[in-house]
Structure 1
Amino acid sequence: MKTSKRISHRHPLPTTITLLAAFVLLSACAVGPDFERPAASLSQHYDAQAEQQLGKPAAPNAQRIDRGRKLNGNWWSALRSPKLDQVIHRAIDGNLGLVAADATLRQAAAFVIASEGALYPQVDFGAAAGRQRTHNGPEASVSNFYAIGPRVTFDLDAFGGNKRRVEHQQALSDLQKHRYEAAYLTLTGDVASQALLLASANAQMQAVDKLLANDAKNLDLVRAAHLNGTTTRIDVSLAETRLAQDRTLLPPLAQQSDAARHALAILTGSGPADWIAPDFTLDEFALPSNIPVSLPSELAHARPDVLQAEAELHIASAAVGVATANLYPHVELSASLAQAASGNGGAALWGFAAGLTAPIFNGGTLKAERQAAVDGYNASLARYQQTLIQSFGQVADTLQAINHGAEQHLAQADALRAAETSFRLNQQAYAQGENSILQVLEAERAYQQALIGQVQVRTALYLDTVRLFVALGGNSVGVLEQKVASREVPKRTYQ
């Protein structure tokens, strides 16, 4: 309090100006740690074995990866489906999750502007009027009074507490931006996945319909043979059992198809009854033959969830700065100018003051708050590192899934060829009278089941490819800036 009094009244004007200049110079600094982005990861590989296998695939038409190359443009364009492109853009425009994320980001930006206001002088205007009674003499007097004029206050922020608060709000805004990017990435991945599941369900239902037709034909032939006495009741029961079992395959596939349609409607911001997704077929998708895979050292800047963890680390760093600044004195300047009057007299009043508040004893509260902020920073740093290595694990898992999926695809292709050969040989044998029609139908049934298996394996390859694009960030970082830029481009009008 003595220091504050000296600054306001006791020092001569040159000394006061010198002290104020010193505080202004101090206000250019901010105590506490200056945030630095975490160092790039030293990891060189996600999964060396999978990268080697996919870098030089054994099969001529198998997928391969291009390590170190960044993805350009919309990742889903690699699937080459115009229908998918239309649905994804509809989802980007109408998804309510993205609308909420956009509004939350705007709210965070407004808070940044609000916090920056503390860095500037605060100007207020005040007015007061009243009637008062005074006893200045033998008799009491009653008079009117008023005061009107502006008042200016300015926090010198000598130790940067307000600057750290602005930094804190800016980091919160960055966090919301990366949450928007994460929602965008999740949305595009979900739309692509649901479209593929819909196409897969449609393809499998077509194969099951053919299988059921063969089962029904087989049952009719077995029943006819039983009437002729060439087969037993056991054969008839077996054929009925196969038909009944294969019929159970359709309802789950129909449910998968309906659920995918409903999910696509919801993802686009519509009710399931308000918008019906187009029919997708697997044939309209192309499996990307060459997938760009960024290096582990670049993944931290390509995945929104890692950037979210980095923003949270920045928030924790700024909180340490705020808590540190609270340990130091707080200096505020104020000035006022007012026209005031009381009774029959009036005058113009002005004032200038400098105030200083410094913590002396608070029961250890401020030091404990700073220690809590430091511990919070360390916890955020550990969460950032955990998020980063989990992202490496997701990329490694999807790389191995694609690698093993390629192996399964080759095995399923062999099974399909074998079933097709068996079916053809049985047809030839039946034509030559060497086997029965039942053997031909069984071979055809095995061929249809192999076709269903091929659809499932093919779908898995597509879904694993989508997951890999998403795990690599899907080129989603910066989409918000692109959206804002597109808003600012004037639309051409035609007359």
Structure 2
Amino acid sequence: MNRPMARGLRTAVALACAVWLGGCAVGPDYARPALAASEGFSPKPLPEVTASAPVAAGGAQRFVRTQDIQAEWWKLFQSKALDAVIEKAFAANPTVESAQAALRIAQENVRAQRGFFYPTVQASYSPARTKIAGNLGGNSPGVQGNGTVISTTANPSAQEGGTAPFNAPVIYNFHTAQLTVGYTPDVFGGNRRQVEALEAQATYQQLQLEATYLTLAANVAAAAIQEALLRQQIASTREIVELNTQSVALLNRQLKAGYASRLDLALQENALAQASQLLPPLEKQFEQNRNLLRALTGGVQDVELPQTFDLASLQLPESLPLSLPSQVVAQRPDVRAAEEQVHAASAQVGVAIAARLPQFSIDATWGGAASQFSQMFLNSGRFFSLTGNIAQPLFDAGVLKSRQRAAEEALKQAQAQYRATAITAFQNVADTLQAIHSDARALRAAVELERTSRTSMELIGRQLSKGYVDRLALLTAQQNHHQATMALAQAQAARLGDTAALFQALGGGWWNRVAQASPGE
């Protein structure tokens, strides 16, 4: 590279650096949208301890404001089967793989956009063999550095007394090699804002991945609890069907012996039919729930999932975290993701503004050209160019201005969506807290109902054996006890489900994951 070229490039680079370092990023700097001040999740303080009942999943639960949420919150249910199914879901569910790919895409887009901060450098080499028609005359390269001439032949014209041929073509080889450098200074920060927007999108995808893990774990936990409930209800229903079947057989024998009436038998057969009718819907729900678990774990439907669940295998956590609203905003992946969308929209306003301002570019070329490869970079073959350019849109029919306005409205939309997401999150936590307290009281009432209905059924059975009541009274008592047993199982499952829902509503503890690694990775 010759000295004038080197001095020119140094000057251009120094000027570009000065412009870049002194430039500013136009557009608004990001600020988190303000939310209404809030210190709790209900107008009146909720009790710190729930009601309790002397039954499985009936213990009192205490809320602790200072308690953090562990990343693997589902392990608090102390079920190895649940741990194994959630781990399998993390490893095999395709929604996780999709979310991971989306994150990698966003990260690569950030890296690609950062590349515009640097000059582009391109080297090229173009060998050519050319034939120039004699009629084109002076378009040939001319005298070369080694003294040879590449030129078409021009004989005297007819007016000058010449004879044909008046000219002749030339065939020659030519080599051109060059290095091209291009740089676009980010004077007004348009590229910086674009990188800022893409970084926000990458963070958004990271939070979407965390939300995928959280939702998947919560769905598996909910399906496991539902299976435990259905197992209990199916077992209770089969028990009442078996009892009714035995009673029908007994009454048939008594009817033949003359100790029972046909009305008693008809009533008992009707009770058997009613109990049997309850069983198929429960079995259908159970099988569909097993199908759901296989799907959540990324499995096929013709391979059985080895893990099973019942209410006795799931322990109710006694201590529950209770975050402040300000912590929920910082913890929940969906709220954080909505905030990153606001950040990206804010940066896009700056991108739109920068597009309306002057655009700067610098281009430099250095190379050599000769008819022989070895002579390209002799003094006679070297060439260079250094070009600066400033472009300012003067008229575009309002295109850029409208794009800026659209970006500003998109920012307002993202801010409103963020506030809506936060409000929904607060409602979600409030609903779950109310459900935890209400379902704890409901379980206590269900335990009492089951106890009294069982006692009533036993007493009426004794009275029937002595002839003090008819069989209809016993059938009614049995039906009431069966309904109470089903309600008790439902109340137990509700408490377990409420607890899982609270962990999900508070964000799931993803920020406490060991070594900052996502599960399944």
User: TM-score, length-normalised on structure 2?
Assistant: 0.83
Alpha-carbon spacing, 1:400–1:17, altered in 2? closer, same or farther (3 Å): closer
Distance in 2, Cα, partners of 1:15 & 1:438: 105
Structure 2 residue corresponding to 1:463, chosen from 497, 501, 504? 497
Distance in 2, Cα, partners of 1:70 & 1:48: 24
Contact map agreement 1:214 1:445 (CA 8 A) in 2: no
Q: How does 1:231-242 map to 2 (within 5 A)?
A: 231-242=260-271
Distance in 2, Cα, partners of 1:432 & 1:484: 68
Contact map agreement 2:113 2:194 (CA 8 A) in 1: yes
Equivalent residue letter for 2:488 = Q
Q: CA deviation at 1:270?
A: 1.0
Contact map agreement 2:331 2:506 (CA 8 A) in 1: yes
Equivalent residue, structure 1, for 2:20:
24
Equivalent residue, structure 2, for 1:6:
none
Distance in 2, Cα, partners of 1:234 & 1:432: 18
Alpha-carbon spacing, 1:376–1:328, altered in 2? closer, same or farther (3 Å): same
Equivalent residue letter for 1:45 = G
The answer to whether 1:326 aligns with 2:355 is: yes
* SS of the residue 1:100 aligns to: helix
Equivalent residue letter for 2:247 = N
Equivalent residue, structure 2, for 1:336:
365
Q: How does 1:330-479 map to 2 (within 5 A)?
A: 330-341=359-370, 346-426=380-460, 429=463, 443-477=477-511
Contact map agreement 1:26 1:159 (CA 8 A) in 2: no
Q: CA deviation at 1:129?
A: 3.3
Equivalent residue letter for 2:328 = L
The answer to whether 1:113 aligns with 2:115 is: no
The answer to whether 1:195 aligns with 2:224 is: yes
Alpha-carbon spacing, 1:266–1:392, altered in 2? closer, same or farther (3 Å): same
Alpha-carbon spacing, 1:264–1:16, altered in 2? closer, same or farther (3 Å): closer
Q: CA deviation at 1:285?
A: 0.5
Distance in 1, Cα, partners of 2:255 & 2:9: 120
**Post-superposition CA distance 1:343-396 (Å, at most 9, x none):** 999411122221111111111111111011000000010011001101111111
Equivalent residue letter for 1:189 = A
Contact map agreement 2:71 2:510 (CA 8 A) in 1: no
- Gaps in structure 2 of 5+ consecutive residues: 1-7, 54-58, 139-152, 155-166
Provide the identity percentage.
33
* SS of the residue 2:123 aligns to: strand
Q: CA deviation at 1:187?
A: 0.4
Q: CA deviation at 1:177?
A: 0.9
Q: CA deviation at 1:115?
A: 0.9
Equivalent residue letter for 2:94 = L
Equivalent residue letter for 2:428 = Q
Q: CA deviation at 1:219?
A: 2.1
Contact map agreement 2:446 2:487 (CA 8 A) in 1: yes
Equivalent residue letter for 2:276 = R
Say which is worse superposed, 470-479 or 247-256, in terms of deviation: 470-479
**Post-superposition CA distance 1:401-441 (Å, at most 9, x none):** 22221121121111111112223434555677755777566
Contact map agreement 1:261 1:277 (CA 8 A) in 2: no
Equivalent residue letter for 2:82 = L
Q: CA deviation at 1:220?
A: 2.8
Distance in 2, Cα, partners of 1:486 & 1:58: 38
Alpha-carbon spacing, 1:321–1:478, altered in 2? closer, same or farther (3 Å): farther
Alpha-carbon spacing, 1:272–1:21, altered in 2? closer, same or farther (3 Å): closer
Q: CA deviation at 1:188?
A: 0.2
Contact map agreement 1:201 1:253 (CA 8 A) in 2: yes
The answer to whether 1:37 aligns with 2:32 is: yes
Equivalent residue, structure 2, for 1:255:
284
Distance in 2, Cα, partners of 1:474 & 1:150: 55
Distance in 2, Cα, partners of 1:58 & 1:190: 26
**CA-atom RMSD, angstroms?**
2.9
**Post-superposition CA distance 1:199-221 (Å, at most 9, x none):** 11111111111111111122234
Distance in 1, Cα, partners of 2:500 & 2:266: 44
Say which is worse superposed, 434-443 or 39-48, in terms of deviation: 434-443
Which has the higher Rg, Structure 1 or Structure 2? 2
**Post-superposition CA distance 1:281-325 (Å, at most 9, x none):** 110111122210211111111111111211111111111111011
Distance in 2, Cα, partners of 1:31 & 1:485: 40
Distance in 2, Cα, partners of 1:249 & 1:477: 45
* SS of the residue 2:345 aligns to: helix
Equivalent residue, structure 2, for 1:171:
200
* SS of the residue 1:147 aligns to: strand
Q: How does 1:161-310 map to 2 (within 5 A)?
A: 161-229=190-258, 231-310=260-339
Structure 2 residue corresponding to 1:57, chosen from 23, 37, 50? 50
Equivalent residue, structure 1, for 2:85:
87
Distance in 1, Cα, partners of 2:263 & 2:467: 24
- Gaps in structure 1 of 5+ consecutive residues: 1-11, 488-495
The answer to whether 1:135 aligns with 2:133 is: no
Contact map agreement 2:51 2:440 (CA 8 A) in 1: no
**Post-superposition CA distance 1:112-142 (Å, at most 9, x none):** 1111111111111122233253523845663
Contact map agreement 2:71 2:513 (CA 8 A) in 1: no
Equivalent residue, structure 2, for 1:311:
340
Equivalent residue letter for 1:33 = P
Alpha-carbon spacing, 1:188–1:18, altered in 2? closer, same or farther (3 Å): closer
Contact map agreement 1:68 1:295 (CA 8 A) in 2: no
Q: CA deviation at 1:48?
A: 3.9
The answer to whether 1:47 aligns with 2:42 is: yes
User: TM-score, length-normalised on structure 1?
Assistant: 0.88
Contact map agreement 1:32 1:322 (CA 8 A) in 2: yes
Contact map agreement 1:92 1:268 (CA 8 A) in 2: yes
Contact map agreement 1:132 1:144 (CA 8 A) in 2: no
Distance in 1, Cα, partners of 2:428 & 2:191: 40
Contact map agreement 1:214 1:441 (CA 8 A) in 2: no
Distance in 2, Cα, partners of 1:463 & 1:21: 60
Alpha-carbon spacing, 1:420–1:79, altered in 2? closer, same or farther (3 Å): same
Contact map agreement 2:254 2:260 (CA 8 A) in 1: yes
Q: CA deviation at 1:36?
A: 2.3
Distance in 2, Cα, partners of 1:486 & 1:261: 22
Equivalent residue letter for 1:23 = V
Distance in 2, Cα, partners of 1:227 & 1:485: 67
* SS of the residue 1:34 aligns to: coil
